[in-house]
Amino acid sequence: MHNGDFKRPQFVVTKLGKQQGFAYIWLLLAITLLALGLGRWAEDYAMVAKRTKEAELLRIGHTYQIALGQYYQNSQGNLKIYPNELKDLLNDPRSLRFHRYIRKLDLDPVTGEPFQVLRDADGRIVGVFSASNQKPVKQKHFAAEMKDFEQAAHYSDWKFMALIDTQNPLQTDTLSSPLKQ
């Protein structure tokens, strides 16, 4: 090793035989199992999110049912009328004093858009519904005032009509919850 003698480093070569690529197969298997687990988790998460939105739709729809019923029952005299617009539920234009039936006009939780309205022959609002064509998860065990929702094909088939308690006018605490299980 004098004068420009250069010695190449020696590498040790071992024979792996049948073990060659074994770690690679294990890595592929682990990645596949991880992907399947994440896919399953994503499906579960999506179902939980859908059920949450559905429960919120039932709660908000029920709130509108009660508010529309109270508006109708609070009509002066014998002429009972429904509101012309949903914003009338925020402050009754028929009243000289501030009268609120609902705190805010909630959006449809399924679509994120305002609720669609159902009108009577006079053009007054008697109910609300979702514009969503998604299939509901819940198909049975609804509260009495929502029995028509059973076996509905779409959320848009859930019509939240005004609840009018003829036995106890102006009292809505006797009405059952839409989230009855």
Is 88 within the bounds of a domain? yes
**Which pLDDT does position 180 carry in this prediction?**
37
Q: Which of 84, 43, 58 is nearest to 149 (CA)?
A: 58
Answer whether residue 152 is part of any domain: yes
For position 85, what pLDDT does the model report? 96
pLDDT of residue 3: 62
What SS3 state is found at 88?
helix
If pLDDT is split at 50, 70 and 90, which confidence band does 170 have?
very low
pTM for the structure as a whole: 0.71
Q: Determine, yes or no, domain membership for 38.
A: no
Residue 81 lies in a domain: yes
d(CA 95, CA 145): 28
- What's the confidence (pLDDT) of residue 179? 38
Question: In the chain, how many domains are there?
Answer: 1
For residue 64, give the nearest of 89, 99, 100 by alpha carbon.
Answer: 89
The range of the structural domain enclosing residue 93 comes to 56-161
Contact 118, 128 (CB under 8 A): yes
Assign 177 a pLDDT band (cuts: 50, 70, 90): very low
What average pLDDT score do residues 60-66 get? 95
CA nearest to 127, candidates 118, 139, 138:
118
Residue 14 lies in a domain: no
Q: Please report whether residue 143 resides in a domain.
A: yes
Predicted confidence band at 62 (pLDDT cuts at 50, 70, 90)?
Answer: very high
- pLDDT per position as a tens digit, 2-49: 666 677 766 665 665 566 677 888 888 889 888 888 888 888 888 899
> Does 7 reside within a domain?
no
Average pLDDT over residues 87-108: 92
